[in-house]
Amino acid sequence: MTQQVSRLAYFPVTLFASVMGMTGLALAWHKLDHMLNLSVSPASPIAFIAALVFVLLSVVYTLKFIRHREQVAIEFQHPVKSNFFATISISILLLAILSLMYSPGLAKGLFVLGALIHLSFTMLIFSRWIFSDKHQNPHLTPAWFIPVVGNILVPIVAVPLGHVEIGWFFFSIGIVFWIVLFTILMHRLFFLDPMPVQLAPTLFILIAPPAIGFVSYVTLNGFVDNFAQVLYGVALFITLFLLLQFARFHRLPFFLSWWAYSFPLASMSIASLLYFEQTQYKPVYWIGIALLAFTSVLIIGLLIRTLIAMKNKQICLPE
């Protein structure tokens, strides 16, 4: 019993990134289904699994909060891990986007809950960045994008629900501070020591802000303009650059941070399919299809590796 309790104490909040990856994959398949009217689509089963995983993770993390609040506090004060608390509110927002296709009423409830939690966390983490003297350059990783830049997601659900102005508010926060944080992060990557090996997969987070920014901006505007093309072009460049480093990432041992591969690649799949839908530019369609196939295989592999790690008791351990 003691062993079980101690393992619960180290249950990582980073596991919520798996929900982001699966919901992103479900949304990508929904997009393809909408475009091609597929007779058989895995979108709904993936969405159901993502929702189930979110509920299970929420229950377990709530138990951790009840029984091991000191460990939650340590995690929340950590300069890197604390950013992953925003994956909870982002997961709620992604589930709200999925719910638009099944239950608008549920989507509205999840939208309000997710947006309020995420805005609150953005305020909290922003306050910490400005007034804390504990942060150092090595602490800066792409995970810092999650709390603030995650605001870019909100318009994708806000606009269909009729809250366009709210969508623009959240989009403005996310896109402006993406540029700020991207500049700071590039300085850190170019001129300081490399990130720890277990955090190397978080480099894929760099794809998500311009990719999701493209989707949100087109959702707000209704068409692809020059700024939208800039967002997509930046996302595509980062994606190609990181995929060309595949051998480098493939050699890394398995960490839960591998889930950082999933949502950014799924978001790039969605952005590519949306770009084609708006412009009928065929090469982008095939980019979207290739990324969707790759991301589907990747997430299946991540699920298997995570389950094996759980079975072998390789996670939920102190560092």
The per-residue pLDDT for 135 is 63
The per-residue pLDDT for 170 is 97
Tell me how far apart the alpha carbons of residues 86 and 67 are, in angstroms, rounded to a whole number.
22
Task: Report yes or no on 137 lying in a domain.
Answer: yes
Task: Determine contact, residues 86/146, Cβ cutoff 8 Å.
Answer: yes
Quick one: pLDDT band at residue 25, thresholds 50, 70, 90?
very high
The per-residue pLDDT for 137 is 64
Tell me how far apart the alpha carbons of residues 102 and 40 are, in angstroms, rounded to a whole number.
17
Average pLDDT over residues 127-156: 83
Return the CATH number at 247: 1.50.10.150
- Of 119-133, 134-148, 160-174, 200-214, which range is least confident? 134-148
The per-residue pLDDT for 318 is 79
Tell me how far apart the alpha carbons of residues 174 and 178 are, in angstroms, rounded to a whole number.
6
Residue type, position 267, single letter: S
Task: Determine contact, residues 92/113, Cβ cutoff 8 Å.
Answer: yes
Using the predicted structure, report yes or no on whether residue 113 has a pLDDT greater than 60: yes
The per-residue pLDDT for 18 is 95
Tell me how far apart the alpha carbons of residues 291 and 286 are, in angstroms, rounded to a whole number.
8
| pLDDT (tens digit per residue) in 234-262 | 999 999 999 998 888 888 888 888 999 99
Using the predicted structure, report yes or no on whether residue 301 has a pLDDT greater than 90: yes
| pLDDT (tens digit per residue) in 165-176 | 999 999 999 999
End-to-end Cα, the chain, rounded Å: 21
Task: Report yes or no on 318 lying in a domain.
Answer: no
Nearest to 48 by CA among 62, 33, 29, 61: 29
Quick one: pLDDT band at residue 148, thresholds 50, 70, 90?
confident
Using the predicted structure, report yes or no on whether residue 95 has a pLDDT greater than 70: yes
Task: Report yes or no on 319 lying in a domain.
Answer: no
Considering its fold, how many domains does the chain have in total?
A: 1
Task: Report yes or no on 161 lying in a domain.
Answer: yes
- C-alpha angle 89-296-103 in degrees, rounded to nearest 5: 45
Q: Which two tokens stand for residue 40?
A: 């058989």
Task: Report yes or no on 278 lying in a domain.
Answer: yes
DSSP 151-203: GGGHHHHHTTTT-HHHHHHHHHHHHHHHHHHHHHHHHHHHHSPPPPGGGGGGG
Tell me how far apart the alpha carbons of residues 130 and 139 are, in angstroms, rounded to a whole number.
15
Tell me how far apart the alpha carbons of residues 285 and 275 are, in angstroms, rounded to a whole number.
8
Q: Which domain holds residue 201?
A: 2-311
- Exposure class string for 256-272: b at 16+ Cβ within 10 A, else e: bbbbbbbbbbbbbbbbb
The per-residue pLDDT for 138 is 65
Tokens 């102190």: give the residue: 318
| pLDDT (tens digit per residue) in 181-240 | 999 999 988 888 888 888 888 999 999 999 999 999 999 999 999 999 999 999 999 999
Using the predicted structure, report yes or no on whether residue 53 has a pLDDT greater than 70: yes
Total-model pTM: 0.93
Task: Determine contact, residues 75/13, Cβ cutoff 8 Å.
Answer: yes
Task: Report yes or no on 316 lying in a domain.
Answer: no
